Structure 1
Amino acid sequence: MKDVRFSRLKSFFVTVLLGAGAVALRAAPPEERPLVFPLPQEIERVGEDFPLTEDAAILVPEHPAAEDLDLARFLTAELSDRYQVAVPVKRAARLPADGPVIVMGSIDNRLVRQYCREDGIAVDAATPGPEGYVLHVSAQRIVIAGSDDRGAFYGLQSLRQLIYRTADGLRVRGVRIRDWPHKKFRGIRLYLPGRENLTFFRRFLRNFMALYKYNKVIIEVNAAMRLDRHPELNAGWIDFANSLNYTRRSRARGPGMQAQDSAHHDTADGRVLEKKEVASLVDYARSLYIDVIPEIPTLTHSYYLLTRHRELAEIPNAEWPDTYCTRHPKTYDLVFDVF
């Protein structure tokens, strides 16, 4: 059953990728592919590319903010782990006259402010605006100036997409970008992953959702997280998932053999995660500026509530009841206690 659960999870993520258009982008001829996706509000190809070698340095102020260090560590890890290029992080009081250097941060970063002041670039909380950034890449400098910390982070995600490999090593395409979101809410809906897929889920958050600047993930939970006051729901959830997996079904049948609501029993691969595992996943998403919205099904798709509480079901004699009775006095005691 392990292989079946993993196959379903993998198929779901492929569907997400198709829906987002990433596959279509890769299939397009190189000359038709955007340099950055989603396409920035303003982008111009300019000058020479930046040679990304170990002679470069990522500069942070002498007394860097935690957000500045987070950006520097993110890029250092990306270059080391993906490209095996070690670019050091150094502290500086001022931007040097020449490079090669990389500077990233919000407009609160003094090195970023110096660059914007000297080059006459307008960046503040209102320009380009919330989650907005400016990214300039030349032969000697890469500068990301965010209107806020989220904007600086999204500028880094655009930078990740501009890196390419040549026979002579890594380079970053020379560009001038001014960007802000097309939409405030940019989200994907997913199931809570199973324990064996937590590492894969984290990679998906970092290398797809963050890379393409999604800022919301809706995660369906059901009874797939430990419910301390309702262990019967966790136990019933595993019974329910086993029943459907062992009979190779995607949904249960009602008393008249009618198809009921889809089961969503793939949530956490039909098993239960501990609260600390879910909390760790939420913390990691937040570190990528992705807000987690938990989804707890109510009324319909409520199998997880009713596996051990048939007395609350609209149709108690169903194989696996999917809808609770809205008029039962104890229904909402259970629903709100789970919330």
Structure 2
Amino acid sequence: MYSWSRTVWIFWLMGVLCLAEAQSVKSPWIEVTYRGTNGAEVRIAGISLIRKTSLQSATPDWSTPYYSSGGTAPRVRAEASERRLVAEHGKLDSPFTATEEWRLLDDNTLQVTVRCVITQDVPAIAEYCVGYLRAQPLVGATYTAETPDGILSGTIPTVAKAADRDDSTFARRFRKLTLQTRFGTLEITAEGDIPDIILFDGRKNSQGWAREAPTLWLGYLQFPLQKDLPVTLQVTMRFTPIERVHPVERIAVATRIVPLKEAVGAEVRPVLLVPQPKQVQWREGFLPLNARTRVVAMDKASLPAAQSFVNMLRDRYGLTLRVTTGTPSRLDNVVLFGLRPCLSRLPRAWHPLLKMPEQAEGYALLVGASAAAVLGNDERGVFYGSETLQQCLQARPDGAALRRVLVVDYPSLRFRGAHLFLGNNALPFHKKLIERIFAHLKLNTLVLESEYTRWDSAPDIAVDFSMDKRDLRQVIAFARQHQMEVIPLVQSMGHSEWIFRNGQNLDIAEDPENPRAYCPLNPRTYSFIDAVYDEALQVFEPRFFHIGHDEVNMFGRFPYHEECKRRGLTQLFVDDVLHHYNRFKHRGIRTMMWGDMLLHRSESADTAAFAQSAEEAQRRREMLPKDIIICDWHYQPRPPEEFVQKNLRVFQQAGFEVVATTWYTPMNIYNFAKAAQQAGILGLLQSTWAGFNISEAVLKPAFPQFSAFVLAAEYAWSNNSPPPDQLPYSPDDLFVDLFERRPLTARPRAGFALDLSEAMNISAAQTNTQGWLGLGAEHDLRQLPRGEQSLGGVRFRLSPDPAKPSAVALASSMLPAQSLPR
């Protein structure tokens, strides 16, 4: 549960990749739906209690996975007459198989039985999560557990006590666990060959599943497997509902519309600089901007910076200005942009203030009483200074104003990248991300994973979401306009499923029954992949090319053909890398690749290391040219010193330049970025694994992956920002604000209020012992400010007496004992 390959976590998160049709069985009280790689969802009394399940097997140190239901969807069948679902787990090249059965014993009782076995004499463990339980419905529930050590009891708290699993465990090795919830009693009985079942609080856990939703983890942690000795697990859940009060179908009340001259007030926001600059000196006052303000680019290289500034003024502040060039004769009511040499054209009094840093991409900016100036060491520097200047803006009735400030700034890491996939509707989404998130927060590299492009050289592998090359060229051009280096990533050797789409090219698959990798000894292989790579070079015209090469032998049989077996994995891998490297080097292009196949578990801070031995890992590193850039991906929140002393040191001592690659866990990003700075490596790449077909629609299911770009930008640029839980802002909220780019106004707007006082049927301050939610009288809205209030600029009037009816409550499955309207 705590260590797994990237691919398993990707597919686990990406329910959209679940190709199996959902199967269901239900009774009046319980419904079970099996959703492929997401496993079983269980609804009790209409409440989604188990949001998903999982089953996985690996070596005891998790370094070699055998199977994961999050990566390989089981074969599921529904047997309606038996009111049961049966899921068959396994894959062609795995020694692990299992049968999972969900059966309704009666209308109120659900039983799950898992029988698993390992068929080879290999070291093996398995882990089964009976349920990722949604925490919200269980908050306030009391529990009693019958364990070998006696009876345990307690209450599910509103907030998790700890991140550590042992400190957050409610019960372990229990035979029966009884939960008294707001909607009924749930009895969980554990039987079978493994007694070590556990329920613990995952709401502060750092794993990916814990980031998806507030979760309690119920199941069996790593238990051993032996060859041909089946293990059976069985869990029975019996639900006894609370006696329900029938809700009132409908009530009619008189409401009153109240006109307001100021329904929405002026939006005044504090100035927030993200990423945190190296030096900031705030000053009193503001520089007003209005329709007469001049925005001047003092040289050609500064035009993009000036244009970005006026675009922000137009979009968010309703102020339309145009960019002019040259040097203004009067330095009042003007905003200037220029490179370092332009300092000589500014007033001498400004020279000692605008102390330019020496680092590439560095800048200095000054907002004075009558003018502002941004100077950069290079084109990127002045552009990033412009982005910081935009964060100093505040809305004013007649336009906007800049907070007076002096900033001297430069990046801590040279390479600050974002990794994205394509899609047939991705272009608008890409443009928003590039302009509003990546460039604005000073990310300077875009790695586009581009397998699913409509390649002219391989038209038969195109799928419905493949991106047209015209759209791809637009993305590339737009990113470069926003100071981003664009790097193509097209997977080769491993993770080459894209080559075999639509049943094509199976003749070059190493394992035709599980086509995930091509055969590097097949004469046709390189004529195919070289043609695609050449086409990608024409589209991107890049300085770097990422060839992938991660997890080569994890899926499908590799090597499989006899000649490939004789050659051996290491030689096949190195020869394939060298084939691509030599073709790129001849064109003056540097090769990039993932680093997991070049590490052994003993050399890595986490389990993203798939060489069979430290000796094989060293041999591979020694055989590869040292001007290859290694993207070293690790997604666990290990301490910075572990990254520095293990994987980063290994690659640096071997002579490679390294890019630390993170995913979306906040402390992973913080720690690995800190390690990258301490080790002095090239930079940081923030990856997303939200599906091969992305558009704005993926923001909802995969939002943490995209808001994580805020953290990556913060920690890749700044060297003194606090940990994620101590930042002066919410990365989620900031992402939404920047992405939406909603207009801001300092002018109050007229509107109306709806008087709901006649409909109020519950007091904000509860006096009974149960309170609103059964959590006690203090869990209500008694602390909410009363009277005239404003939220997000919108005016509200709250009842002055919280002890009287002052809120509207509607019927819910979570409040079955209260008579409320629907």
TM-score by length of structure 2 reads: 0.31
> Which residue is 2:468 aligned to?
274
Question: CA offsets per residue over residues 311-332 of structure 1, 9 Å max, x none?
Answer: 11122123xx111223323222
**Aligned pair in 2 of structure 1 residues 34, 302: CA closer, same or farther (>3 Å)?**
farther
**Aligned pair in 2 of structure 1 residues 164, 311: CA closer, same or farther (>3 Å)?**
same
Are residue 207 (structure 1) and residue 441 (structure 2) matched?
Answer: no
Unaligned runs of 5+ in 2: 1-14, 18-207, 209-267, 534-822
Secondary structure, aligned partner of 2:309 = helix
Given residue 281 of structure 2, which amino acid in structure 1 is its aligned partner? Answer: E
> Which residue is 1:107 aligned to?
340
Are residue 333 (structure 1) and residue 570 (structure 2) matched?
Answer: no
Secondary structure, aligned partner of 2:304 = helix
**Aligned pair in 2 of structure 1 residues 89, 295: CA closer, same or farther (>3 Å)?**
closer
> Which residue is 2:375 aligned to?
145
| Counterpart Cα distance in 2 of 1:117 and 1:312 | 69
Structure with the largest fraction of helix: 1
Q: Is the Cα–Cα contact under 8 Å of residues 305 and 337 in structure 2 kept in the other structure?
A: yes
Structure with the largest fraction of strand: 2
Given residue 311 of structure 1, which amino acid in structure 2 is its aligned partner? Answer: D
% identity of equivalent residues? 26
The farther-off stretch of 275-284 and 166-175 is 166-175
1:293 deviation in Å? 1.0
1:90 deviation in Å? 4.1
Select which of 156, 161, 165 maps to 2:391.
161
The farther-off stretch of 138-147 and 33-42 is 33-42
| Counterpart Cα distance in 1 of 2:469 and 2:531 | 16
Secondary structure, aligned partner of 2:523 = coil
Are residue 188 (structure 1) and residue 418 (structure 2) matched?
Answer: yes
> Which residue is 1:132 aligned to?
362
Q: Is the Cα–Cα contact under 8 Å of residues 445 and 487 in structure 2 kept in the other structure?
A: yes
Select which of 461, 465, 483 maps to 1:233.
461
Q: Is the Cα–Cα contact under 8 Å of residues 508 and 518 in structure 2 kept in the other structure?
A: yes
**Aligned pair in 2 of structure 1 residues 84, 166: CA closer, same or farther (>3 Å)?**
closer
| Counterpart Cα distance in 2 of 1:278 and 1:189 | 15
Given residue 438 of structure 2, which amino acid in structure 1 is its aligned partner? Answer: M
What are the within-5 Å matches in structure 2 for residues 278-293 of structure 1?
278-293=472-487
Q: How many equivalent pairs are there?
A: 269
Select which of 309, 324, 348 maps to 1:75.
309
1:337 deviation in Å? 1.8
Given residue 211 of structure 1, which amino acid in structure 2 is its aligned partner? Answer: H
Unaligned runs of 5+ in 1: 1-6, 10-17, 19-29, 239-269
1:73 deviation in Å? 2.6
Q: Is the Cα–Cα contact under 8 Å of residues 95 and 114 in structure 1 kept in the other structure?
A: no
Q: Is the Cα–Cα contact under 8 Å of residues 364 and 409 in structure 2 kept in the other structure?
A: yes
1:79 deviation in Å? 1.1
Question: CA offsets per residue over residues 202-255 of structure 1, 9 Å max, x none?
Answer: 011000000100001111111x22211221222xxx1xxxxxxxxxxxxxxxxx
| Counterpart Cα distance in 2 of 1:122 and 1:164 | 23
Higher Cα Rg, which structure: 2
Structure 1 ranges of 4+ moved more than 6 A: none
| Counterpart Cα distance in 1 of 2:271 and 2:312 | 21
TM-score by length of structure 1 reads: 0.71
| Counterpart Cα distance in 2 of 1:119 and 1:168 | 28
> Over aligned residues, Cα RMSD in angstroms?
2.9
**Aligned pair in 2 of structure 1 residues 122, 329: CA closer, same or farther (>3 Å)?**
farther
Secondary structure, aligned partner of 1:174 = strand
> Which residue is 1:309 aligned to?
505
Secondary structure, aligned partner of 1:195 = coil
The farther-off stretch of 325-334 and 213-222 is 325-334
**Aligned pair in 2 of structure 1 residues 202, 91: CA closer, same or farther (>3 Å)?**
closer
**Aligned pair in 2 of structure 1 residues 85, 8: CA closer, same or farther (>3 Å)?**
farther
